[in-house]
Amino acid sequence: MRARVEAAVAAVPDPELRVLSIGELGMLRGVSVDDGGHAVITVTPTYLGCPALEFIKADVAAAARAAGATGVEVVVSLSPPWTTDWLSETARAKLADAGIAPPGRLSLPMLAPGCPRCSSPDTTELASCGAAACMALRRCTGCGEPFEHMKAH
């Protein structure tokens, strides 16, 4: 049952980045299910003050119940803090396919993100916050199109 619950919970879409699941984001930190079917699911939010956290917790609990859990406890763990380095290459590709420039790696020098539409490296920041706190609004000087950029942290 644990594998079924974990798969269901990992597939829960992020409310703000609907192209990615919480599993792809690296927010799912652990799943345990006891013999009675009670599940304890540990998640780490992408931001300390993530406004979507309550929605994520509710969606995680609903997905675990739908997968057969008889009871669900969603635990929020802030340590270690989430980092964009936890994004897989698949998640980064999905962001780019959705027109969102993926974040750079914290372990590498921070360069301006390239345009997800035309791949031009020449972009400028228009606003440090986009539709979500984890996003910045940028514009490509090559094709002129605006796009969001998931900030590295």
Q: Each residue's pLDDT tens digit in the chain (153 positions)?
A: 999 999 999 999 999 888 999 999 999 999 999 999 999 999 999 888 888 899 999 999 999 999 999 999 999 999 999 998 889 888 999 999 999 998 877 666 567 788 999 989 899 999 988 877 788 999 999 999 999 998 887
Domain count, the chain: 2
In a domain, 104, yes or no: yes
Flag whether 71 is in a domain: yes
Dihedral sign (CA 121, 149, 19, 106): positive
What's the pLDDT score for residue 125? 92
CATH number for the domain spanning 46: value is 3.30.300.130
Predicted local distance difference test score (pLDDT) of residue 108:
63
- Check whether residue 11 and residue 44 sit in a common domain: yes
* pLDDT value for 131: 79
Which of 76, 91, 118 is a domain's end point?
A: 76
Whether residue 15 sits in one domain with residue 70 = yes
CA–CA distance, 119 with 101 (Å, rounded to integer): 10
Q: What is the pLDDT of residue 110?
A: 62
| Same-domain check for residues 130 and 64 | no
89 within domain boundaries: no
Claim to verify: residue 48 and residue 108 sit in the same structural domain: no
pLDDT for residue 109: 58
Residue 72 shares a structural domain with residue 7 = yes
- Is 88 part of a structural domain of the chain? no
* 70 and 28 in a common domain: yes
Do residues 27 and 72 both lie within one domain?
Answer: yes
Q: Which residues contact 46 (CB under 8 A, 6 or more apart)?
A: 25, 27, 82, 134
DSSP letter assigned to residue 13: B
| Structural domain boundaries, residue 121 | 99-150
Looking at the structure, tell me whether residues 33 and 68 fall in a common domain.
yes
Specify if 123 maps to a domain. yes
Asked if the structure places residue 58 within a domain, the reply is yes
